[in-house]
Amino acid sequence: MIRELTFQQGNYLATKINCSCGTECSLELKRGNFVYHEIDEKLDKYFNLSTKTFIFRTVNGKEFELTPPNIGLQKAFGDYILKENNEKRTPNLAFLKIIPFMLSGRTTITYDGIKAKLKEFEEIDDISFQFLNAAVGKMTFGVKELKKNCVACGEEVRAEMQFPNGASGIFVIHDAFEAYLKE
Ligand SMILES: [Zn+2]
């Protein structure tokens, strides 16, 4: 998402895949082409039907209510990340991954609202943080593969979403130490 927001139009990483009709298709790394993993079924029994949220109690006596962020919240956090990026601040990605899931019942949040949540969050105890990070990991609709329709025949083409050095390889230059050190 950061990449899409930052690079704007027409600057996507892409992978080439041959359709069964013989046409070579370019599958861009963008959200419109993503196929997501399902939410981990281990979470099913914590889903509360009346609130439509997941409710977890942890060993340190805390209770957390989590729900995947709706479009309004996703947009608010997207705008926040874009603003931070434009103003050369590094967003706290560890918390920005978790906070959108902790705003059950809300449809949006202001820039200052996110700032306040971040401040609140930086005080969180380690067990809670580790738990939330893991829980959100299970709820995050991780990208499984890429798909789009072939431009020639319209059939669906799919490609695995794999990066040689993991997903962070999109942003982090592998071996930057050796690559950029002037000897
Ligand atoms: Zn085709």
| CA 171 to ligand 1 centroid distance, Å | 31
Asked if residues 155 and 20 have their Cβ atoms less than 8 Å apart, the reply is yes
Per-10-residue mean pLDDT of the chain, 183 residues long, equals: 61 82 89 79 88 91 91 88 87 86 94 94 90 84 82 91 53 60 70
pTM of the model: 0.63
| CA 167 to ligand 1 centroid distance, Å | 28
| CA 128 to ligand 1 centroid distance, Å | 49
| CA 163 to ligand 1 centroid distance, Å | 25
pLDDT of residue 96: 86
Asked if residues 12 and 89 have their Cβ atoms less than 8 Å apart, the reply is no
pLDDT of residue 70: 84
pLDDT of residue 33: 87
| CA 24 to ligand 1 centroid distance, Å | 8
Question: Judging by beta carbons within 10 Å of its beta carbon (0-12, 13-18, 19+), is residue 178 exposed, middle or buried?
Answer: exposed
| CA 32 to ligand 1 centroid distance, Å | 19
| CA 18 to ligand 1 centroid distance, Å | 8
Q: Which run of H or E residues covers position 157?
A: strand 156-160
Residue with the two structure tokens 């895949």: 17
pLDDT of residue 95: 85
pLDDT of residue 141: 59
pLDDT of residue 29: 80
Q: Token pair for residue 142?
A: 């991780």
Q: Which of 30, 11, 9, 73 is nearest to 161 (CA)?
A: 30
Q: Which amino acid is at 24?
A: E
Residue with the two structure tokens 């705003």: 103
| CA 169 to ligand 1 centroid distance, Å | 30
